[in-house]
Copies of this chain bind each other. A is one copy, B any other.
Amino acid sequence: MARPRNFNEAQALKSAMHVFWQKGYEATKVPDLLAATGLSRSSLYETFGDKQALFEASIKEYNRSITGVRLVQLQRGRTAKEGLTLFFDHLIATCLDESTPSGCLMVNTTTTLDPHDQRIKEIVNESGKGFHEAFLALLERAKADGEISSSQNLQDLVHMLVAIIVGINVMARTTMDAATLQTMADSTINVVFS
């Protein structure tokens, strides 16, 4: 009937997400998005609405793909410790991969969050909660399997664990040094599974 789309909407969204991930919302200008997606101005606005809407779509996409894949690693181990190891391996690998930005879009967004932007805040909080729960589940599994002391307060431990991972995601933006990142990961694993 009508002329079909000349571009892949999902692919374009991923490209836009990468730009926001690397540069942040404010520093990302519409021409950057046009260049990254390859879309024309009209197509971009027609497809995604305005910049704010595209950003919102981008962080949702980020949670779906990037964060999702990272968290899945936790369950891909025969033990909880192995799961956490796989998580860090995957995190470090993507940070070293030059075709994707380092760090975490959710973390970056948190540090520049406009307190009045309720919609974005909501999404970030939701993502954080999912993150927290995934690690809590891992620790509960570890406790049930006797991998960690049964006297450990899991809530306290998971708070600390999440804080470390957030910190690593920040430092990964400047520290491309694989050894340093690996050291942080190893220390963390050792602390949790003492």
Measuring CB to CB, which residues of chain A are less than 8 angstroms from any residue of chain B? 23-24, 26-27, 103, 107-108, 110-114, 121, 124-125, 128, 155-157, 159-160, 162-168, 170-171, 173-174, 180, 183-184, 186-188, 191, 194
Contacts and interface: CB of A to CB of B under 8 A. Distances in A.
B160 A191 contact: yes
- Count of identical protomers in the assembly: 2
Contact of A186 (B156, B170, B187): B156
A160 B166 CA distance: 12
A41 B124 CA distance: 36
A24 B168 CA distance: 21
10 contacts: A103-B111, A124-B174, A125-B174, A156-B187, A160-B188, A162-B167, A163-B171, A166-B166, A166-B171, A167-B168
A173 B27 contact: no
Given A108-B112, A112-B24, A160 B170 contact: no
Given A163-B167, A164-B167, A191-B191, A110 B183 contact: no
A168 B174 CA distance: 18
A114 B29 CA distance: 14
A160 B173 contact: no
Contacts of A188: 160, 163
Given A156-B186, A164-B160, A170 B24 contact: no
Contact of A111 (B168, B173, B187, B191): B173
A13 to B, nearest CB: 22
Contacts of A108: 111-112
Nearest to A121: B174
B170 A170 contact: yes
A31 to B, nearest CB: 15
Given A111-B112, A114-B27, A159-B187, A170 B166 contact: yes
